[in-house]
Amino acid sequence: MMYSYCFAGERFCFPQPFQELASFRIDARAVGEATLFVSQSFPENESLQIISCANGWVGGAQRGVEIYAASQGMLLKIEGGGEFFVSPHGETIGKLGSKDELSQIDREIILGPVLVLALALRGVWSLHASAVMTRDKVTAFLGESGLGKSTLAAYFSQNSGWRRVADDILPTKMNGLKVMALPHFPQLKLSMESQPWIGLPELLPLSFACLLEPAEPDQNPELHRLSSTQAVQALLSHAAGTRLFTPELLAKHLEFSVLAAQHIPTYRLIYPHRRDALPLVREMLESLC
């Protein structure tokens, strides 16, 4: 039996159920490639080509991650977890060689790097970003961990006329010449009851991006428009999962980033970590929107 879920506007099939993600479950039966892929898995004589070997933050710790490509799809080996497969076009993902109940670390691996890779194979690119919306305009906050992405999103969600769209990962894709945000994606740091996607449409135009940079303690927030080259660099630097990508996926992601930078005004937001600075940030973004 296969289990079908819909994340970021795309359907995925799993050989194991995700009870805590019942809200994403769809009433659909997996057929074709999904069934064939799971039944065949990766045979012992399958030729694997290593794509990358690196360390990454997975499941609350730095772990070794090995990525392999094969005719059957992609294989991810995560230190402390299992081996996970992704079918060639990303429709089916799961744990290799096991039908046991998934552990908590297995679930975090699948809903983190594995799902990000599967989305990329479908032309959906995930940003390390929180996001907020007002007047149908979505602003993404790009930044490293600890710079305040979640703090800003939570603050804006408490203000009338604003709501949170994403907390840490924002899937995006091109739709013609528009960059679209796909908010229906599990935000692992939030409870199911607090998921920002609840009540939102599956597609929202992405209007602005703000690259967060730290400020001096007594400095006020500042907003500066980036050049197109700087905008491309910001999108590339804050993309999720690029270490997992094959050269072909990297080329497609670069193409997306260049095109997206042409259509999303991108700013450098110098943001001091002070409570009294938050209303000033809101005023600057309201002037944009």
Q: Average pLDDT for consecutive 10-residue bins of the chain (289 residues)?
A: 87 80 75 44 66 80 86 86 87 76 82 92 96 95 89 94 95 95 91 89 96 90 96 96 92 97 96 89 90
Residues 97 and 35 in one domain: yes
Residue-range definition of the domain harbouring residue 273: 125-288
Measured CA to CA, the distance from residue 188 to residue 113 in angstroms comes to 12
**β-strand pairing of 266-271 with 204-214:** parallel
* Residue 258, pLDDT score: 97
* Residue 231, pLDDT score: 97
Residues 200 and 73 in one domain: no
Q: Which two tokens stand for residue 143?
A: 């930044």
Residues 194 and 52 in one domain: no
Measured CA to CA, the distance from residue 178 to residue 131 in angstroms comes to 17
Residues 137 and 221 in one domain: yes
* Residue 30, pLDDT score: 44
Residues 162 and 34 in one domain: no
What region does 60 belong to: left with phi over 0, alpha with psi -120 to 50, or beta? left
Residues 11 and 27 in one domain: yes
Three-class SS of residue 262? helix
* Residue 40, pLDDT score: 45
- For residue 225, report the phi and psi dihedrals to the nearest 5 degrees: -70, 135
Residues 38 and 63 in one domain: yes
Residues 210 and 100 in one domain: no
Residues 172 and 247 in one domain: yes
At which of 72, 92, 120 does a domain end?
120
At which of 100, 120, 140 does a domain end?
120
pTM summary value: 0.90
Which CATH number goes with the domain that contains 172?
A: 3.40.50
At which of 66, 98, 120 does a domain end?
120
* Residue 31, pLDDT score: 41
Among residues 23, 21, 29, the alpha carbon closest in space to that of 13 is found at 29
Domain count, the chain: 2
* Residue 100, pLDDT score: 64
Among residues 154, 105, 104, the alpha carbon closest in space to that of 132 is found at 154
* Residue 21, pLDDT score: 77
Residues 23 and 45 in one domain: yes
Residues 137 and 267 in one domain: yes
Residues 38 and 108 in one domain: yes
